[in-house]
Amino acid sequence: MGFATRAPAAIGLLLTALLLGAGCLMPKWLTFLITMAASHGLVSLGIVLLMRGGVVSFGQGLVFAAGGYAAALAFAQLGITDALGLTLIGGAVATLLAAPFAPLLARYRGIFFAMLTLALSMVAYGALVKVSALGGSDGFNMGRATLFGQKLPDAQVGYVLYSVTVVMSALLAIAARRCFDSTRGLVTLAVRENELRVEYLGGSVREAMAINFMLAAFVGGAGGALTVMSLGHIDPNFSYWTTSGEFVFVAILAGWQSVLAVFVASLVLEMVRSFSSLYFPNTWQLALGLFLLFVIRFLPRGIGSLWFRDKP
Amino acid sequence: MEQAVTIFIDGLTYASWLFIVALGLTLVFGVLKILNIAHGSFYAIGAYAAASFVGWGAAMKLAPGWSIVAMLLAAAAVAALLAPLTERGLLRFFYGRDEVLLVLVTYALFLIFEDLTKLVWGANPYYVSEPYALFGNVEVGRQVYVGYDFMLVGMALLVGGLVWWGLNRTRSGKIVLAVIHSEEVAASMGVKVSRVYALAFSVGIFLAALGGAFTAPMISVQPGVSVGVIIVSFAVVIIGGLGSIEGAAIGALIVGLARSLAVHVAPVAELFSIYIVMAVVLMFRPEGLFQRIQARKI
């Protein structure tokens, strides 16, 4: 392991420590904003993982909702209240849900992959709206999670969930970096360039794509679980296509090179969203759309390309 | 039996306007290679414009029959105003980029139009009931159906036939087909590709607005209609095969019938019946029902 492989992990841990320290001083709205940015960023991280293989999922809302509903149900029905446990359950359930579709989706590329994932997420949306046991279109509330068996008092709950989210996101981000630089991660990049060559060289394109899809589902599910714990509420909109669209937005904004860029992009989106809904509530979608067009036009490889210049 | 007839007629009506909208979507994709999410916005704007035009017509005390003309004019106005603006002013800067990235460009456009329509027409619903009664009622067996619905079916057939004729039997249609086949070869033969793009996009947008204008009497025109339409018309063109007229017709029929079957037999499944059909078709025919197999690029 040289500097190049260790540096991202070191940077990640340093940033995490900084964020944990700074969190004590931040106002509540800011910790909440960063919590949302980090947990949503995880879902986009999954899309970036897929993007490295040349496909974009327009239905990551599916795994986001799966993780969120799994965590909320485990809390309400099974009595599991530990924040870390719920995050893992969210990730695991989303992966299980994605597993049967992974080999199937691995055959599709481009627009068809995007549309098929979109269809799956909309089937889930349609089903969730109709299931009255899960609150139908209103969804349901989730109580307050615990950490290591400790109940969280009112004053600290925001900060503790913020810390959990930041630490989990950092760990998953570091794992993602390792995954990007692993043999399979590099095969994925090769698939993006030329599938046939990968097959000639003995690599399995479908296996790489299927495993990527499941890994993306895991981080997406974990992101859903972390989101629902901080929000305290879940509804079918988690799986709606405009939610998925925002995840793709962040992934495109970040570009496929840098992991850190995903979280920066997610934070940018959350900020644009909350500031524009504060100052121009009727035109915030307009602002978001113009911003997106600007990025695609002038930063085609995302904000990650600002500091990731070495590879083409 | 009676229920089967009802399901069929409901499905057919739904399929007819959906076909008009999806035809525009598939045409734009065929020529410009853009799967246009903002297509739903043009549908919505068409519906709003129809509401305004019909309202003005009523204010001028025109005979109710003129409301059909008003709706046609509304669709034409939307296409004439917005299509060149969008295509020349924005989309042309992104030609040749990755297909999925282009989807995202139109997603941005969709977000922009969502707020613009709210700024222009407000958030309250509009009702355009006037034209709906124009064609009287039709009795089929013991059931009574609204004549307007059958007029829509006729219009869908007419529009589909016209577009087919225009593409396959006219000189400019042949040029469009040549551009679809190979843009480079067409350009080297002296075809002005940018003009073909602008033409195809305008026709596509006109069809979206036309679908919106003529469904306006059947729905309440309010924020959010664009979202529902775009997802359903995506399903249609994906089922039928992107860029195919026959595909759009068959896809619209399949989606319309699947939906009305779900509505009448299993209302729980209404929302996702369409997507299940789409997922099943994609699993067995990844390129859609009518798409020609394309050579794999090395």
- Kindly report, residue by residue over B117-130, the tens digit of the pLDDT: 999 988 888 888 77
Separation CA A151–CA A139 (nearest Å): 25
CB A195 within 8 A of CB A207: no
Q: Of A303, A49, A306, which Cα lies nearest the Cα of A180?
A: A49
Cβ-based neighbours of B291, under 8 Å, separated by 6 or more: B241, B242, B243, B244, B247, B285
Q: Of A69, A229, A91, A89, which Cα lies nearest the Cα of A160?
A: A229
Tokens of A265: 């992009």
pTM here? Answer: 0.85
Cβ-based neighbours of B89, under 8 Å, separated by 6 or more: none
Tokens of A305: 């390309």
Q: How far is A186 from chain B (nearest CA, A)?
A: 19
CB A207 within 8 A of CB A107: no
pLDDT for B205: 95
- Kindly report, residue by residue over B172-229, the tens digit of the pLDDT: 889 988 888 888 888 898 888 889 999 999 999 999 999 999 988 888 888 888 888 8
Separation CA B232–CA A8 (nearest Å): 43
Q: What are phi and psi of A25, to 5 degrees?
A: -95, -15
ipTM higher than threshold 0.90: no
User: CB distance from B296 to chain A under 8 Å?
Assistant: yes
Q: List, in order of start, the domains of chain B with CATH numbers.
A: 2-284 (1.10.3470)
Give the three-class secondary structure for B60: coil
Q: Of B230, B229, B238, which Cα lies nearest the Cα of B283?
A: B238
| Cα four-point dihedral sign A308, A309, A310, A312 | positive
B156-185 mean pLDDT: 90
Name which of A197, A293, A295 to mutate to probe chain B: the one with the most chain B Cβ atoms within 10 A of its Cβ: A293
Per-residue pLDDT of chain A (312 residues), as tens digits, is: 444 556 777 787 888 878 777 777 778 788 888 888 888 999 999 999 988 888 888 889 899 999 999 988 888 888 777 888 888 898 899 999 888 888 888 877 777 788 788 878 888 887 888 877 777 778 787 777 777 777 777 777 778 888 888 888 888 888 888 888 888 888 888 888 888 888 888 878 888 888 889 999 999 999 999 898 888 888 888 888 888 888 988 888 888 888 888 888 899 888 888 887 788 777 888 888 888 888 888 877 777 777 765 554
pLDDT for B296: 45
User: CB distance from A252 to chain B under 8 Å?
Assistant: yes
User: CB distance from B227 to chain A under 8 Å?
Assistant: yes
Q: Of A108, A115, A244, A124, which Cα lies nearest the Cα of B251?
A: A115
Whether A242 and B227 lie within 8 Å, measured CB to CB: yes
pLDDT for A43: 92
Provide the strand spans (E) within A139-281.
140-141, 233-234
Q: How far is B235 from chain A (nearest CA, A)?
A: 8
pLDDT for B291: 64
pLDDT for B292: 58
Each domain of chain A, given as residue ranges in start order, spans 3-306
Show residues of chain A in contact with B231, CB under 8 Å: 118, 122, 241
Q: What are phi and psi of A204, to 5 degrees?
A: -100, 110
Q: Return the H-helix or E-strand segment holding B82.
A: helix B66-89
Give the three-class secondary structure for A140: strand
User: CB distance from B185 to chain A under 8 Å?
Assistant: no
Q: How far is A47 from chain B (nearest CA, A)?
A: 13
DSSP string for B153-177 = HHHHHHHHHHHHHHHHHSHHHHHHH
Separation CA B78–CA B21 (nearest Å): 14
Q: In terms of pLDDT, which residue wins out, B57 or B157?
A: B157
* Site of tokens 């937005």: A249
Which residue from A58, A123, A194 is facing B272, i.e. has the nearest CB? A123
Tokens of A54: 């040349």
User: CB distance from B280 to chain A under 8 Å?
Assistant: no
| Cα four-point dihedral sign A227, A228, A229, A230 | positive
Amino acid, single-letter form, for residue B248: A
Indicate the burial class of B286 (C-beta count within 10 angstroms; 0-12, 13-18, 19 or more). Answer: middle
* Site of tokens 């997610």: A266
Tokens of A28: 């509540």
Q: What are phi and psi of A85, to 5 degrees?
A: -60, -45
The number of residues in chain B equals 298
Q: Of A89, A68, A92, A93, which Cα lies nearest the Cα of A80?
A: A89
CB B107 within 8 A of CB B37: yes
Separation CA B75–CA B77 (nearest Å): 5
**pLDDT higher than threshold 80 for residue B256:** yes
Q: How far is B83 from chain A (nearest CA, A)?
A: 18
Query: In the 8-state DSSP scheme, what is residue A231?
Result: H
The number of residues in chain A equals 312
Percent of chain B at pLDDT exceeding 70: 97
B81-118 as b/e, with b when 16 or more CB fall inside 10 Å? ebbeebbeebbeebeebeebebbbbbbbbbbbbbbbbb
User: CB distance from A249 to chain B under 8 Å?
Assistant: yes
CB A36 within 8 A of CB A230: yes
Q: Of A241, A200, A18, which Cα lies nearest the Cα of A116?
A: A241
CB A180 within 8 A of CB A259: yes
Task: Give strand pairing partners of A147.
Answer: A150
Separation CA A158–CA A109 (nearest Å): 41
Q: In terms of pLDDT, which residue wins out, A81 or B93?
A: B93
- Kindly report, residue by residue over B258-297, the tens digit of the pLDDT: 888 888 888 777 767 887 887 788 777 777 777 655 544 4
Which residue from B93, B272, B286 is facing A107, i.e. has the nearest CB? B286
Tokens of B245: 């007229």
pLDDT for B19: 93
Name which of A51, A55, A296, A297 to mutate to probe chain B: the one with the most chain B Cβ atoms within 10 A of its Cβ: A296
Q: Give, in order, the Cα–Cα distances in Å from B72 to each of A28, A307, B46, B125.
A: 54, 53, 10, 21
Task: Give strand pairing partners of B143.
Answer: B140
Separation CA B47–CA B232 (nearest Å): 17
**pLDDT higher than threshold 90 for residue B16:** yes
Separation CA B205–CA B86 (nearest Å): 10
pLDDT for A312: 44
Whether B286 and A108 lie within 8 Å, measured CB to CB: yes
Whether B107 and A292 lie within 8 Å, measured CB to CB: yes
Average pLDDT over chain B, rounded to whole? 85
